A and B are shown apart, each in its own frame.
Chain A
Amino acid sequence: MVSLSPNSTSDRSPSRVMLALSNGRRFAKTHKSIVVGAIMVGFVVAMAALAPVLSPYSPTRIHPLDRLAGVGSPGYLLGADQQGRDILSRLMWGARSSLAIAVLPLTIAGILGLVLGSVAGYIGKLPETLIMRSMDVVFGLPPILLAIAVAATLGPGLVNLVISLSIVLLPPMTRVTFQVVTTLKEQPFVDAAKVSGATTPQIIFDQIIPNSLAPVIAYGASLAGSMVVFGAGISFIGLGIQPPQADWGRMINDGREVLDLHPHVSTLPGLAIFILAAGFNFLGDGLRDLLDPRMRM
């Protein structure tokens, strides 16, 4: 045990930089999955961000003469689809909607779920019954049916897809927050806040939510991969992103008819989905281990 003297000065050693470096190396070693996931996701993010600069053509430029150009043909590094659109350019631009679908619904559902789950978990009683039972009703439906129903009602498009995926994600995000909060509210520091004179909303926003953030983010991150696949699926069946906008799920569908002779048209976007989804899964699992040891398998 170190000195308990109340006036003991800072025990930081001078070589803070060295410490950070060696910590970084140790981090990379013990948290391989975060590093691998971050590289995969980071690659996709870079492609999406640099699309306007790096993509050889506009993603919607139609050039019938070059239709179904193979991988490596001159001017088409990854080939072209039936309409002669450059697949590389479309993949880069399509990364944007895939990332949006992975991140936006989770953020929206995460924020709402954090508030609803905290209110239900901390207050209990009637708010708990109302919130959690209505989540049960939504959660009881198969998510794919729910998403299709919402998309069919609201109509296709990126914005509506984000809304429908947010609805799909709200129950699990609320539930995980609820679980975290029911244990959190037994902590002495919550009693301390109560005794300090804090009101219930103050306790929820100052004490409960900041402390449930890490485990809830970790859980949310582990869902991002499935959202990429899920969103691509919705676009594949035509309820998501609409042509001619570039989207990976849409691109797989485009290549469906020529799958036997020109498999690259479908498989390349499939591979992109795989890279992003797997990257998010690595990242999410690693984050979960890092932030919330309780959920470790």
Chain B
Amino acid sequence: MERLFLSGGIKIKNLILEVVNLKKHFPARGGNPLVRSERTVKAVDGVSFDIREGEVVAVVGESGCGKSTLGRLVIRLIEPSSGGIRLSNEDVTHVQGEELRSLRLKAQIVFQDPFGSLNPRMTVGASIAYPLQVNRLFKRGDKEGVEQRVKELLERVGLNAAHAKRLPHELSGGQRQRVGIARAIAVNPKLLVLDEPVAALDLSAQARVLNLFKELQRNTGMAYLFITHDLSVAEYIADRILVMYAGKVMELGPRGGVFKTPWHPYTEALLAAAILEGPSSSDATILDGDPPSTIDPPPGCRFNTRCPHAGPICAAEEPALVEVQDGHMVACHLLTGKLQRRIPASTRIPVSA
């Protein structure tokens, strides 16, 4: 095993996803097209975590912090710059061709945009049947088998057989998202990446689709990587929370721990802002100041430019992710004693769970 996985490459029975020091650097957009730019966007910059069977991990953070890039890496829609990804104990970091296609049976994604993610010229039934056909899960010509399966899937997501003949533009946003979900679960994946799957829906549809996710998860035991910028959604659905900031993990831990006793000043700020502005607040206004550019991230801790507690050490040295409690990890100098809280911890805003 050439890559360094926490598991050491050993098979662990209920480990679905293992991500180690994952990085994705894009060439910076814009600039002079004639001069090959050396600058890179460090969209995901050294992220490690894992997901067990049937577990829901929520990835939260502001716009542009690399959540979608992380999700797209995990299902290998894009290739990592470095680091490792293991899916069901198989190294999939750089698989290509047929191997990559067989990975599609294990991990699927539901996209944010319910309008753009369905082919406008395919009926709902054809869209849902597509993964079954390209993966040859039914015998050639077994139309009835496919139809039956599509009907079953439509019912699983709260639609019915009659919807199969519709075109996407005839459906509401919530219905379209259900079609996207049916398509994703058609191949019985073990892991579902959900990239802000309810963000484009109105509130009542959000609640219903979230319930559907919860129900599906209970019934099938799928694991979710649930990307959202809405903390109330994360709190509702997730077992564990991963807080990202500028391509890095700031805090990762069980839902109760992260929401009730957040350690990282960034997590605190996110929670405080969520309480002040209500659950549907736009992620753009959560904190003062802009998130640092991921093109030239500040040295040291990425959050130091906006952190109320930041001291000299924060700009000089990057804090490591350390475990503060069982499974609760935080990357902050406050923990190592190298930095003192400016505001006593007791004044932290209480958060109801």
Contact = CB atoms under 8 A, between A and B. Distances in A.
Contact of A189 (B108, B116, B158): B116
A244 interface: no
A3 B172 CA distance: 8
A236 to B, nearest CB: 42
Q: For chain A, what secondary structure do more than half of its interface residues adopt (helix, strand, loop), or is it mixed?
A: helix
B123 interface: no
A197 B160 contact: no
Interface stretch (A82-90, A110-118, A198-206): A198-206
B180 interface: yes
Nearest to A197: B104
Contacts of B131: 196-197
Q: In which size bucket is the chain B interface? A: 35 or more
B196 to A, nearest CB: 12
Contacts of A1: 172, 202
B117 interface: yes
Nearest to B135: A197
Interface string B119-154: 111100000001100110000000000000000000
Contact of A6 (B102, B116, B174, B180): B174
A193 B119 contact: yes
A42 B187 CA distance: 50
A76 B195 CA distance: 74
Contact of A199 (B101, B111, B173, B178): B101
B120 A211 contact: yes
11 contacts: A1-B172, A4-B204, A6-B159, A188-B111, A189-B119, A192-B109, A193-B130, A196-B130, A197-B131, A207-B119, A210-B122
Interface of B: 75, 77, 101-102, 104-105, 108-109, 111, 113, 116-122, 130-131, 134-135, 157-160, 162, 172-175, 178, 180, 183, 187, 201-202, 204-205, 208
Given A192-B111, A210-B121, 15 more contacts: A4-B173, A4-B201, A6-B174, A7-B158, A189-B118, A189-B119, A191-B77, A192-B109, A192-B118, A192-B183, A193-B130, A197-B101, A197-B134, A198-B134, A199-B134
